[in-house]
Amino acid sequence: MFRLDTKKSNVKLVVAGLLLGLFMASLDQTIVSTAMATIIKKLGGLDSFIWVYSAYMIAMVVSTPILGKLSDMYGRKRFFLLGLVLFVVGSILCGTATNMDQLIIYRAIQGVGGGALMPIVFTIIFDLFPMEKRGKMMGLFGAVFGISSVFGPILGGSISDNLSWRWIFYINVPIGVLSFLFILRAYHESKNTRKQNIDWLGAVLLTGAILCLMFGLELGGTDGWAWSSWKTVSLFVGSGVLLILFLVAEVYAKDPIVKLGLFKNRLFTSSMMTSMLYGGAMMAGATYIPIFIQGVFHKTATQTSTVLIPMMLGVVLSSQIGGRVAGKFVFRNVMILSAITLTAGLALLGFALDTSTSRGIISLYMVVVGLGMGVSFSLLNISTLNAVPPQYKGSASSLIAFFRTIGSAIGVTVFGTLQKHDFQSAIQALPNMNPQFAAQIKGGQALLDPVVQAKIGLSAEAVNLLLSKLADSIIYVFQWSVILPIIAFVFVLMMGRARLAAPMQAGQPGGPPQGEHAGKPETSMHGG
């Protein structure tokens, strides 16, 4: 297996390089949002702009488990550097795009790079630091997600307004170059001379299964792709068939992309499922709180770019706390408190929120959601890496990111369907509502644009009525979202009494005990 050579590596420079790389990749998921209106004006492509987001997400989801496994086989350093190169090259290309189709393709290149960066960062941190420092460092790196979520929309709006939308991509170049140089010069691994076997069949089948699933989620419910249409159904059926074939292939593969035996470990499996459910819950808040405030308080998209700051401050704080207490308490107990807090936060948004609620109270609810959410960014990475043998840490870290992203994608789709259905039911029940007009405005988000309001020719009273129905439909989404942390609570209980343990062989002098409390992180595939 590959190990960090601490005698040759400069730990401070390695940490700096990893922080820069993670910040760059996580920032790019949010910085584009507030600049999209400007991009559409310059490049056109209103009918396909959603794929600027989707291409990135799909490419990242597809590449994450494959690159994570390859980093286990051939070393963390080379694949982290590869991810940086792909991300920076993709960023440069995005900045030079002259039409929407080019931008979508270049965003996919960025996504492949992001699929390498995010999981490998946490694997290197676990290799880099001893047990007593891992929680603190994981909390620091987990907080990067919250920080980037706060500054991403602000930077996106500011750069596109004062410079050019192209600079939201060019800004990645100096960050990526610095990260590359730090890791290249400061990070050194011991070599593994064992002959490696790449599971090509598994990689192809997994890629096909994910692509079918993600395209089904992205296209389903859009024009020409009704959920019941043969095209949409065939994508989901194809994904299921390819997934089954992938699982069969992994049983017989010599070096499988996903070691199925890992899921026999209760701690590992519960961490994966909790990560997926938290990913869906995160999207409920991050997607619909800005829309609610835009509609209720009549703000523009740029004015609401900072609206998520209270929630993300909660994320940053609790991510730090989760990392620091990981070595002092069993994982389950910390995550129980997290799940209760997240449930309470979403319940406040779903059952205590209405159109008369003040911004201050909404901000307080958002802080509670953030406090419940942030722990997962640090602690679930720690519990996952603590649950597997060293040779599978890259694969395990990639899977936690994979499940979180899949949860986010499914969450966006399910919540979007719920919101649209509730909104349509509400407005079609209004007297004198034209069914064609109701179908045209779909989920109602288009009504937030003053240009669209003027184009439709509605009175201010009618617009306010429709926006109130939009707000009600978003509250309906929050009510449903409470289910996710409640289900996650069940998986959290499955964590048992596992806790952070040093990566030493059980039974060695100074090594972890072989009982339940150790979680059997390095020696057992069935612990937890």
Residue of 472, 509, 502, 51 lying closest to 517 (CA atoms): 502
Q: What is the pLDDT of residue 342?
A: 96
DSSP string, 267-306: HHHHHHHHHHHHHHHHHHHHHHHHHHHHHHHT--TTTTTT
Answer for the pair 57, 111: CB distance below 8 angstroms, yes or no: yes
177-108-278 Cα angle (round to 5): 95
Q: What is the pLDDT of residue 195?
A: 62
Q: What is the pLDDT of residue 254?
A: 86
The position carrying tokens 């891992």 is 134
Q: What is the pLDDT of residue 140?
A: 83
Contacts of 34-41 with CB under 8 Å at 24 or more apart are 34/153, 34/154, 34/156, 34/157, 34/160, 34/301, 34/302, 34/305, 35/156, 35/157, 35/159, 35/160, 35/165, 35/168, 37/301, 38/160, 38/161, 38/165, 39/103, 39/160, 39/165, 40/100
Q: What is the pLDDT of residue 237?
A: 96
Q: What is the pLDDT of residue 504?
A: 38
Residue of 352, 335, 208, 193 lying closest to 273 (CA atoms): 335
Strand residues in 307-429 grouped as ranges (E): none
The position carrying tokens 């936060």 is 345
The segments of the chain whose pLDDT lies below 70 read 1-7, 46-47, 190-196, 300-303, 305, 451-453, 455, 501-528
Torsion of CA 264, 266, 267, 273, to 10 degrees: 90
The position carrying tokens 């819950």 is 281
180-195 residue pLDDT tens: 999 999 998 866 545 6
Q: What is the pLDDT of residue 522?
A: 37
Residue of 463, 458, 450 lying closest to 303 (CA atoms): 450
Answer for the pair 474, 419: CB distance below 8 angstroms, yes or no: yes
221-239 residue pLDDT tens: 777 788 889 999 999 999 9
